[in-house]
Amino acid sequence: MKIQFLGAAGEVTGSRHSVEVVLAGRPRHFLVDYGMFQGGREASNKNLEPLPFFPKDVEFVVLTHAHIDHSGLLPRLCAQGFKGPIYCTSATYELLKILLPDSAHLQFADLERAERKMKQGKWRGEMPVALYSREEVEMTLKQFEVLDYGQSKEIAPGIQLEFHNAGHILGSAIAVLDITEDGSSKKRCVFSGDIGMKGRVLMPDPDLISSADVLVVESTYGDRLHRSLPETENELVEVINATMAAGGNVVIPAFAVGRTQEILFLLIDLVRKGRLPHLAIWVDSPMATAATQLTQHFFDQLDRQSQETFDWYKNNSSAVNLRFIADVEESKALNKIKGGAIIISASGMCDAGRIVHHLANNLPRPQNAIIITGFQAYGSLGRRLVDKVEKVRLFGEEVLVKASIHTIGGLSAHADQAGLLDWLRGFEKPPKTCYVVHGEPESASVFAKCMRDELAWPHVIVPERLHTYEC
Ligand SMILES: [Zn+2]
């Protein structure tokens, strides 16, 4: 068996793992995740690079979860000739029906805006590229096959697939593949996908897996520990109360899927506990609105505490003035609100979507606060804000950063170092080979060392992008 890491090797985006096995006398090729690289020009170039295989030769794709950095290039793969099935959970599929069309839309919107600015002589830098169309997304959505958690399915002769709950976002899964290659005994390959943080809001704790021969594990926060949930709540309360007292707005860039619902849950819960006053919250992202509805649809997949809080809100809806914005005009009207608003909008790394307009509008005023709640990849606008730049270029124009920028780390949908180690302790014996992916170089190498030192696991490798490993 050979694995080639096409992305998320030494970085956190572009999760794409290519696997080759020999079954029934011939080589077979499949992929686990097919995500987009995100964050700046370098990422755009990687999304466009030629593939080391023919898409028509790929037999199937196993998708761990809906986040675009794991799923976002699937329409491109299909448009390039991949005709096989894509396996995922039903919640992941429902989320993708929202996320993939939006991704296509954002790419075209960026391109059109750049072309407009170019005509006016206001655009500097390279032109963005649209990777696929809305029609190509529609075609891709026809190739999915859903599988419930814990349901085992033979997806090719000699390959059995089973999903387990990863506790990361709605529908997120750990993929367990039992592969019996010609002339060898069965091998269990486990792809962690993104692993959620134990004891956090909304999602249940990640399922433990007891055995693996080959393990591919994420390491987004492999070199650090998250702040505790009570500390995170204290920080949120402090920033929101101070900003409201100063007459400013709070802008929260948030991934539409998962993070937005998590923040809503926390804010509602803090109002419920009497720690925050009556709040006026605008969720300005059509995708976040749809994802929140979907979260309600999959209510039984949420953890118990979140179910209780949402039940409370149903009976006390006047305690929080929560509005979901549908059209662009309503979104623009938010520009007129100079204080007292909490605006939650996407994208989470501030690179696209309505959040960019809200930042352009709110960054220049010192009474406003921007709360960064998610991982900001190198090269993204969010990362530059976290790094305290004094000005940014938005829509080809310069904007001064006068608002205060707060990073609240404890809300991560990813397990921290202790959480990841805890999850790994679920394996009864060390996997024969482990590959540490989905982490920036420092994080991946620190976590690999941790696995060797603290768990005494013998074969832990931080793979290099585009290298092929025999396992
Ligand atoms: Zn994810």
Distance 13 CA to ligand 1 centre (A): 9
Q: Are 417 and 223 in contact (CB under 8 A)?
A: yes
Q: Identity (one letter) of the amino acid at 203? A: M
- Read off the tokens for 308: 């209780």
Write down the residue that tokens 């009207």 correspond to. 333
Quote the ligand 1 centre to 73 CA distance (angstroms).
14
pLDDT at 125 exceeding the cut of 80: no
Q: What's the 65 CA to ligand 1 centre distance in angstroms?
A: 7
220 Cα to the center of ligand 1, angstroms? 10
User: Which has more pLDDT, 101 or 353?
Assistant: 101
Distance from the alpha carbon of residue 181 to the mean position of ligand 1, in angstroms: 30
For residue 337, report the distance from its CA to the centre of ligand 1, in Å: 33
| Distance from the alpha carbon of residue 91 to the mean position of ligand 1, in angstroms | 14
pLDDT the model gives residue 401: 97
Contact 218, 439 (CB under 8 A): yes
Q: Does residue 217 surpass a pLDDT of 80?
A: yes
Give the whole-angstrom CA distance, residue 256 versus residue 284.
9
Q: What is the pTM of this model?
A: 0.87
User: What b/e string do you get for 410-424 counting C-beta neighbours within 10 Å, with b at 16 or more?
Assistant: bbbbbbbbebbbbbb
Give phi and psi for 377, each to the nearest 5.
Answer: -65, 150
Dist. CA 299 → ligand 1 center (Å): 20
- For residue 280, the model assigns a pLDDT of 95
* 379 pLDDT tier (thresholds 50, 70, 90): confident
The CA-atom distances, in angstroms, between 5 and each of 228, 416, 468 are 33, 23, 7
Which residues partner with 31 through β-bridges?
18, 61
Q: What is the pLDDT of residues 339-359, one digit of tens each?
A: 999 999 988 889 888 999 999
Instruction: Please tell me the distance between residue 169's alpha carbon and the centre of ligand 1 in angstroms.
Output: 7
Mean pLDDT of the chain: 94
pLDDT at position 246 over 90:
yes
